[in-house]
């Protein structure tokens, strides 16, 4: 039996009623993006004319936080949900072409070798394994040589959630990322521990809050 979720209005309303409003933008997103930039060390690269891509961005709240850092020439977010993309465009006033309906398995509007930082949070666990593989092939296609990827996935560290199709272990995801030709960065977790950015008011950083649920991978092409 398929548990494939539909990411349209019902999904949005269900998540919002459970406290996860994808159209909410605030301090959490701003802090999270600072943490991602610190962990990927993207600020150590020459950032002129750099392009950022968020895959599975929902309404683009994280995309907006990346945009507001003003360190990228262009920020693009893609999501397969027409409802979430329309809501994000209405709520956050993105410019044409910034938040678009696009599937991670095709990414038709994203050019080859065009992305400097690719971010993808909580998408892979919702894809079938074959779509996850095709998505990694697409990452390879759109990322520039020397660019950086940051993926955040719920793995089997967490209790199985019925709506999630592909619950693999951290080790299996690491092998998969390498198999698709990327080089995993070794210091990701060390940097996450050091990153002094806080999702709430309790002085616990993202590592302390989320490491039991998330597996985080950074890699280069
Ligand atoms: C759990 S939400 C995560 C949203 C956001 N990245 C975050 O971390 O808050 C999963 C998102 O992936 C999107 N999605 C699912 N399958 C997709 C696909 N094949 N291509 C692009 N987006 C997809 C859904 O519409 C949904 O917005």
Strand pairing report for 99-101 and 143-154: unpaired
Q: 64 lies in a domain?
A: yes
Give the HSE-up count for residue 151: Cα atoms under 13 Å, Cβ half-sphere: 22
Measured in Å, residue 46 CA sits from the centre of ligand 1 at 29
Q: Is residue 1 part of a domain?
A: no
Which atom of ligand 1 lies at the shortest distance from residue 152's CA? Answer: 8
The reported pLDDT for the residue numbered 164 is: 65
What's the confidence (pLDDT) of residue 1? 39
Looking up residue 196, the CATH number of its domain turns out to be 3.40.50.150
**Which pTM does this prediction carry?**
0.95
Residue 198 near ligand 1, beta carbon < 6 Å: no
153 lines ligand 1 (CB under 6 A): no
Identify whether 126 is part of a domain. yes
Give domain status of residue 129, yes or no: yes
Predicted confidence at residue 5, as pLDDT, reads 57
Secondary structure of residue 188 in the 3-state scheme = helix
| Cα separation, 90 vs 92, whole angstroms | 6
Atom 1 of ligand 1 has which residue's CA nearest to it? 122
Is 123 touching ligand 1 by the criterion CB < 6 Å? Answer: yes
Count of domains for the chain: 1
Domain that holds residue 138: 22-220
What b/e string do you get for 56-69 counting C-beta neighbours within 10 Å, with b at 16 or more?
Answer: bbbbbbbbbbbbeb
Give average pLDDT by consecutive 10-residue segment, the chain, 221 residues: 70 94 97 97 84 98 97 96 98 98 97 97 93 97 96 74 72 94 96 97 96 93 96
């Amino acid at each position: 039996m398929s548990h494939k979720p539909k990411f349209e209005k019902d999904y949005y309303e269900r998540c919002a009623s459970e406290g996860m409003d994808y159209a909410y933008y605030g301090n959490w997103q701003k802090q999270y993006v600072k943490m991602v930039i610190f962990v990927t060390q993207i600020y150590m690269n020459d950032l002129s004319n750099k392009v950022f891509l968020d895959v599975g961005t929902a309404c683009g709240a994280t995309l907006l936080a990346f945009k507001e850092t003003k360190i990228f020439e262009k920020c693009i977010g893609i999501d397969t949900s027409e409802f979430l993309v329309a809501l994000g465009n209405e709520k956050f006033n993105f410019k044409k072409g910034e938040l678009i309906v696009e599937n991670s398995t095709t990414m038709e509007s994203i050019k080859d070798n065009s992305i400097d930082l690719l971010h993808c949070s909580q998408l892979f666990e919702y894809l079938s394994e074959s779509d996850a593989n095709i998505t990694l092939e697409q990452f390879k296609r759109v990322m520039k040589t020397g660019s950086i990827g940051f993926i955040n996935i719920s793995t089997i560290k967490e209790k199985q959630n019925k709506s999630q199709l592909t619950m693999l272990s951290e080790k299996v995801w690491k092998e998969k990322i390498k198999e698709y030709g990327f080089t995993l960065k070794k210091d990701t977790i060390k940097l996450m521990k050091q990153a002094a950015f806080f999702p709430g008011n309790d002085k616990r950083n993202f590592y302390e809050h989320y490491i039991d649920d998330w597996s985080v991978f950074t890699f280069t092409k």
